[in-house]
């Protein structure tokens, strides 16, 4: 199935909202991670979201090119082709783009989607995230409105954030911020809704104590009821149809009870990166440790090409990532719910 059209993407989000489930949104950095993600969604009969960060795009472009937007275009085009081999719907998304990277990362991707649409194709990405949460809310919303108007022209959904996800990701470190910054208020949620809803559909990464990275159970103090209270405030004023499409960032280490509680409050997308990174790397390390004399040419021996061939361990990494993402589909209740051909 080709990548979801803008209309199919909206149907995906509607189905998740009405059905009380969410899509895992996995960050990829290579063809190997993309293939693992596609296999996982297909094996789970779950539609899904594949996304790229600026750091992931930069890595994909190679050391010589070192261009986040270009690398993201290359991988996105590859996923467009690869997705044709699978019978589920896949949407492409970009993760956190901070204000300082709008011109170098987000706008070139929007221009590429504009070029594609002028040629009779769909947009390259179905949604983008602008994370201007580092700015005061008024400035955040002003930039969000500017970018959202461009997205609406291109049939692209914009994801925004108010409140701050803690921790560090792709070099953006918010670990030193006071705790209250990790919690979006009902007033913030009302401002976001009333500012952006007149322009079109959007997704909202409201924060409720979530933190990027990997932590032991109990270390991260989530308050999912923040999502409930914010949604209620908006819906009490604007009606049931005002329920927002919420996004859960920083879910690594959260209990399944916490994950599923957020589904009751309108979460339709949950980012997964830290856990799938570990799932990808663990079998590579095991392979090298178990085959160290073949992988390394110790004491001037010749080694064993079969075990230092990158394919020998990257296949294991792909399968492990696939299995972890399948578990995420189960946790978020998207397994078996693909709307493709339904």
In this prediction, residue 175 has a pLDDT band, given cuts at 50, 70 and 90, of very low
Could you tell me if 83 and 3 are in contact, meaning their C-beta atoms sit under 8 angstroms apart? yes
Handedness of CA 324, 54, 216, 220 (dihedral sign): negative
In a domain, 70, yes or no: yes
In a domain, 234, yes or no: yes
Let me know if 309 is a catalytic residue: no
How many CA within 13 A on the CB side of residue 284?
14
In a domain, 308, yes or no: no
Q: What percent of the chain has pLDDT over 70?
A: 91
Which tens digits make up the pLDDT trace of 202-233? Answer: 999 998 876 655 445 455 578 899 999 999 99
In a domain, 40, yes or no: yes
DSSP state of 178: -
The predicted pLDDT at position 339 comes to 97
Give the Cα separation of 221 and 215 in Å (integer): 11
Q: Which residue has the higher pLDDT, 151 or 168?
A: 151
Structural domains of the chain, count: 1
Place of tokens 């990362």: 105
In a domain, 303, yes or no: no
The CA–CA distances, whole Å, from 336 to 45, 194, 323, 324 equal 5, 35, 15, 16
Give the Cα separation of 90 and 21 in Å (integer): 16
Secondary structure (3-state) at 334: coil
In a domain, 298, yes or no: no
End-to-end CA distance of the chain: 13
Which tens digits make up the pLDDT trace of 78-90? Answer: 999 999 999 999 9
Out of 47, 95, 170, 331, pick the active-site residue. Answer: 95
In a domain, 294, yes or no: no
The CB density around residue 63, as the number of other CB atoms within 10 Å, is 7
Question: Residue 190: is its pLDDT beyond 60?
Answer: yes
Which tens digits make up the pLDDT trace of 85-139? Answer: 999 999 999 999 999 999 999 999 999 999 999 999 999 999 999 999 989 999 9
Q: Residues 313-330: what's their mean pLDDT?
A: 98
In a domain, 316, yes or no: no
- Residue 227: CATH number of its domain: 3.20.20.70
Which domain range does residue 22 map to? Answer: 6-284+321-331
The predicted pLDDT at position 250 comes to 78
């Amino acid at each position: 199935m080709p990548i979801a059209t803008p209309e199919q993407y909206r149907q995906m989000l509607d189905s998740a909202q009405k059905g009380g489930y969410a899509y895992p949104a996995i960050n990829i950095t290579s063809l190997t991670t993309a293939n693992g993600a596609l296999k996982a969604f297909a094996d789970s009969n779950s539609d899904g979201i594949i996304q790229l960060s600026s750091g992931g795009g930069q890595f994909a472009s190679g050391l010589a090119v070192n261009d986040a937007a270009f690398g993201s275009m290359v991988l996105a085009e590859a996923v467009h082709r690869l997705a044709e081999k699978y019978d589920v719907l896949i949407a492409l998304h970009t993760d956190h783009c901070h204000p300082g990277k709008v011109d170098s990362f987000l706008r070139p991707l929007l221009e590429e989607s504009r070029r594609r649409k002028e040629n009779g194709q769909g947009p390259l990405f179905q949604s983008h995230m602008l994370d201007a949460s580092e700015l005061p809310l008024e400035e955040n919303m002003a930039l969000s409105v500017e970018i959202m108007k461009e997205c609406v022209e291109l049939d692209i959904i914009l994801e925004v954030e108010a409140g701050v996800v803690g921790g560090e990701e792709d070099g953006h470190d918010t670990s030193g911020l006071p705790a209250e910054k990790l919690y979006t208020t009902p007033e913030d949620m009302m401002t976001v809704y009333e500012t952006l809803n007149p322009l079109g559909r959007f997704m909202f990464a409201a924060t409720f104590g979530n933190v990027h990275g990997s932590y032991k159970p109990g270390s991260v103090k989530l308050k999912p009821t923040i999502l409930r209270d914010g949604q209620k405030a908006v819906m009490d004023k604007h009606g049931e149809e005002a329920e927002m499409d919420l996004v859960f960032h920083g879910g690594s280490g959260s209990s399944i009870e916490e994950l599923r509680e957020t589904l009751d409050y309108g979460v339709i997308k949950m980012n997964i990166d830290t856990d799938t990174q570990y799932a990808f790397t663990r079998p590579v390390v095991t392979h090298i440790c178990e085959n160290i004399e073949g992988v390394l040419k110790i004491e001037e021996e010749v080694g064993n090409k079969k075990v230092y061939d990158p394919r020998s361990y990257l296949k294991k990494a792909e399968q492990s990532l696939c299995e972890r993402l399948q578990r995420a589909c189960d946790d978020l209740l998207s397994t078996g719910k693909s709307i493709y051909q339904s």
